[in-house]
Amino acid sequence: MRLPFHVHLKLGEWELSIGSPANGDVLTFNSTNRTFRNQTLAGAGIAPSTADYLVGTALAGLSAEIVAGATPGGELGGTWGTPTVAATHSGSSHAHLPAGAQVNSVDIVTTTGTQTLTNKTLTDPKLTGNWKLPYTNGSAVVTELALGALNALLQGSGTAAAPAFSSWALTVKYKAADESVVNNTLQDDDDLVVAVAANEIGVFLLIGRWEETAAGVADMIAGFTAPTGAAGGFQRMSNGNINTATAFGGSILEAVGGSQVSGMAYRGYLVNGANAGNLTFQFAQNVTDAAATKVLKGTTLIYVKVAP
């Protein structure tokens, strides 16, 4: 059995103190207090000689070092401070394929399996313009399509031509709340209004409900106005029958003869002249009555610009 021991000697200005040394301890000297003491390698700030150090050249004081060389090798170049990657690595330069490069076969691994693309031309899918829509042309090349005018409709041109925004444009207006009238003067509806440009041609459809709130004789008259000089008109649709067209600025009687909610439906067309303006739905009581006549929430005007 080895018992711990402690040795303490003092010779003049020098002091030697050894207490319970362990295997591998080293004797160190402290110049401040002029003492020799036993310490572990870590305590003495000495790295162990058996660690796997990565070194540039082999050292006699080490037993398990990994010699990497003075400069990077293999597919690395430069120095260890600023290493570089060789232009060719893993047997290939891994060059970027430019747009238009022909690839005979590419395997694409997906979550559902591997798909193989053959004889496809690679194209750069990056979009370069603002407010554009991408599509592929007949050569599978990504192409940009400029957005159309306000409310313009995207129209397909079959499988042999590019899509395009047509001159057709759809506008939908609806009533978010009921609107009332208590006299027989036609008033513009607050919501059912569509702007039309000069020389514009369009068709429209209004579908909704109206209400006579008292059992009187007020009923309702309804119509449309258009910019000065516009041709066309509107018709009421009722029970599958279509009345004679009424010119813009005129009105059609909606009569029920009592307090109730009734449906209404109108269609029409507009050929505008040189004056821009609005297509506007109007309504009023046929006979003035203190009990309001209402155009009800949800009534909708659909307008399609046909040309130009």
What is the predicted pLDDT for the residue at 48? 66
Q: What is the pLDDT of residue 82?
A: 84
Q: Which residues pair with 155 in a beta bridge?
A: 164
- Provide the pLDDT for residue 263: 92
Question: What tokens were used for 155?
Answer: 């129209």
**pLDDT (tens digit, 0 to 9) for every residue of the chain, 308 residues total?**
344 545 555 555 555 555 666 665 666 666 666 666 666 656 655 666 666 667 667 766 666 767 777 787 777 778 877 888 877 766 666 666 565 565 556 666 555 555 555 555 555 555 667 788 888 888 877 788 888 777 777 878 788 888 887 777 889 999 999 999 999 999 999 999 999 999 999 999 999 999 998 776 889 999 999 999 999 999 988 644 555 679 999 999 988 767 889 999 999 999 999 999 999 999 999 999 999 999 999 999 999 999 88
Is residue 291 within 8 Å of 217, Cβ to Cβ?
no
Cis before 308? omega within 30: yes
**Could you tell me the domains of the chain?**
6-39 (no CATH), 172-307 (2.60.120)
Separation of first and last alpha carbons in the chain: 110
Identify which of 203, 222, 221 has the alpha carbon closest to the alpha carbon of residue 268: 203
Give the model's pLDDT for residue 3: 43
| Confidence at residue 1, expressed as pLDDT on a 0 to 100 scale | 39
Q: Which two tokens stand for residue 279?
A: 């297509």
Residues 6+ apart with CB under 8 A from 97: 103, 122
pTM exceeding the 0.75 threshold for the entire prediction:
no
Give the pLDDT of residue 2.
Answer: 45
- Backbone phi, psi, residue 224, to 5°: -135, 150
